[in-house]
Amino acid sequence: MAKNSELADELRIKTAERKLFLVNLMASPGAGKTTFIEAITPYLRLAGLNVGVIEGDIASSVDTDRLIAKGIEAVQINTGGSCHLDAYMIELALAELTTTEGIVFIENVGNLICPAGFDLAEDLKLLLSCVAEGDDKAFKYITMYAAAEAIALNKWDIASAFDFDIARYFAGVNAVNEDAPIFKISAKNGEGIADVAALLTEKYKQKFKP
Amino acid sequence: MAKNSELADELRIKTAERKLFLVNLMASPGAGKTTFIEAITPYLRLAGLNVGVIEGDIASSVDTDRLIAKGIEAVQINTGGSCHLDAYMIELALAELTTTEGIVFIENVGNLICPAGFDLAEDLKLLLSCVAEGDDKAFKYITMYAAAEAIALNKWDIASAFDFDIARYFAGVNAVNEDAPIFKISAKNGEGIADVAALLTEKYKQKFKP
């Protein structure tokens, strides 16, 4: 863990040189991380930012194949069983990725627990939650919800199919995290994606054009 | 890990004395584990079996409160951050639980990765998957899908809202697991629950009434 943090510190210097803003995208399995990246990429490109993706999975290259087919640069990491990514994996992937001057999404392993504790040299921890998971998740996955610096609540277009109580969801989040902005989005139909893109663009400018 | 297996062996003797059949219920966050237990309990009781629940969560007693309110005996374990349950936690919970002669559901922490590797002295590893997660999960979470001894695919009633391709889902499962029966269910509307109850009842009889 200490070694991971040390390596992350080194990575921060390297990524700053490449003018990369790293987004650690964390979510449950199936919350829609890859679809979200597909949806937000055009907005970021319109704002003049390049987009690259580091795909973390225990096995397979299903998501990387999807992204490359859509013209988005992506590098696959297979953790071989590990339940989260670490800074060493990110270092290897960044060496392979050619992206500069833009946003690199680190699509973490689908898991609301273990990824919260590992520093990946990210500039932003973005939690992608999902109405299909129910409105009570912040009460249970408190470490993840406390660690999140921004939250995008996905599949908002079908919230009514799940009796999703948005007030209860907000109450759960606010109990552990009063700072993270919450965006209601649909990666499928595009709702709210421009707002998340605006946040990332603004944060990129804060970092590199002070 | 070796100590966990040793303790699990001891637990197997104790649970056999109490005529308990333990179901290790594993799933992503929000797949519907608690709703599934609520839905299947009446069927098991009709078959003459008692039902008890061990609830594993990092924090909160949201699910235990729900079950107790519905007249189902439940004991809460808070793992305090750990991403899975272990045999020691089960030992403590079983000492508190009064259920005998029936099914004990161990509702594991919502996580498709870490719980697959820990022996909880269970008689059956039941994976509760969910159409909202997408049809590709077996390709990615291969350890969990390989470990499952039965799979219940939940929220089947709303599969059409997710463009869920059942053929692709089966292909993914079959690539790592040719033995586990797959049940299409809806814990919400009751579809398929009787079939899962029949499987558990049959397995209970095989164990205790040979």
- Residues B28-60 have pLDDT tens digits of 999 999 999 999 999 999 999 999 999 999 999
Instruction: Tell if the CB–CB gap between A139 and B112 is shorter than 8 Å.
Output: no
Helix, strand, coil distribution of chain A in percent, nearest 5: 45, 20, 30
Give the pLDDT confidence score for residue A138 in this predicted structure: 97
The mean pLDDT of B203-208, rounded to a whole number, is: 97
Give the pLDDT confidence score for residue A209 in this predicted structure: 83
Q: What pTM does this model have?
A: 0.93
Crossing angle of the two packed helices B87-96 and B2-17, in degrees rounded to 10: 30
- Tens of pLDDT along A63-111? 999 999 999 999 999 998 899 999 999 999 999 999 999 999 999 999 9
A175's CB contacts (< 8 A; 6+ apart) are: A138, A139
CB A73 within 8 A of CB A101: no
Instruction: Tell if the CB–CB gap between B29 and A136 is shorter than 8 Å.
Output: no
The mean pLDDT of B63-87, rounded to a whole number, is: 95
Give the pLDDT confidence score for residue A126 in this predicted structure: 98
- Tens of pLDDT along A36-60? 999 999 999 999 999 999 999 999 9
For tokens 């039965």, name the residue: B150
Instruction: Tell if the CB–CB gap between A130 and B132 is shorter than 8 Å.
Output: yes
Q: Is B198 on the interface with A (CB under 8 A)?
A: no
A30 closest CB neighbour out of B109, B132, B158: B132
Enclosing H/E stretch for A52? strand A50-57
The mean pLDDT of A119-135, rounded to a whole number, is: 97
What is the spatial distance between Cα B76 and Cα B63, in angstroms, rounded to a whole number?
Answer: 8
What is the spatial distance between Cα B176 and Cα B186, in angstroms, rounded to a whole number?
Answer: 24
DSSP helix/strand/coil, B152: strand
Q: Is B5 on the interface with A (CB under 8 A)?
A: no
Give the pLDDT confidence score for residue A169 in this predicted structure: 97
- Tens of pLDDT along A3-12? 999 999 999 9
DSSP helix/strand/coil, A177: coil
B68's CB contacts (< 8 A; 6+ apart) are: B74
- Tens of pLDDT along B91-145? 999 999 999 999 999 999 999 999 999 999 999 999 999 999 999 999 999 999 9
Which residues of chain B have a CB within 8 Å of the CB of A159? none
Average pLDDT of chain B is: 96
Q: Is A114 on the interface with B (CB under 8 A)?
A: yes
B137 closest CB neighbour out of A29, A140, A141: A29
**Percent above pLDDT 70 for chain A:** 100
Which residues of chain A have a CB within 8 Å of the CB of B35? none
* CATH of the domain spanning A2-200: 3.40.50.300
Is the domain defined by B2-202 classed in CATH 1.10.357.10? Answer: no
pLDDT band at residue B163 using 50, 70 and 90 as cut-offs: confident
Amino acid in position B133: E
Instruction: Tell if the CB–CB gap between A81 and B139 is shorter than 8 Å.
Output: no
CB B106 within 8 A of CB B8: no
Q: Is A59 on the interface with B (CB under 8 A)?
A: yes
Kind of pairing between the strands at B102-107 and B182-184: unpaired
pLDDT band at residue A1 using 50, 70 and 90 as cut-offs: confident
pLDDT: is A94 or B1 the higher one?
A94
pLDDT band at residue B75 using 50, 70 and 90 as cut-offs: very high
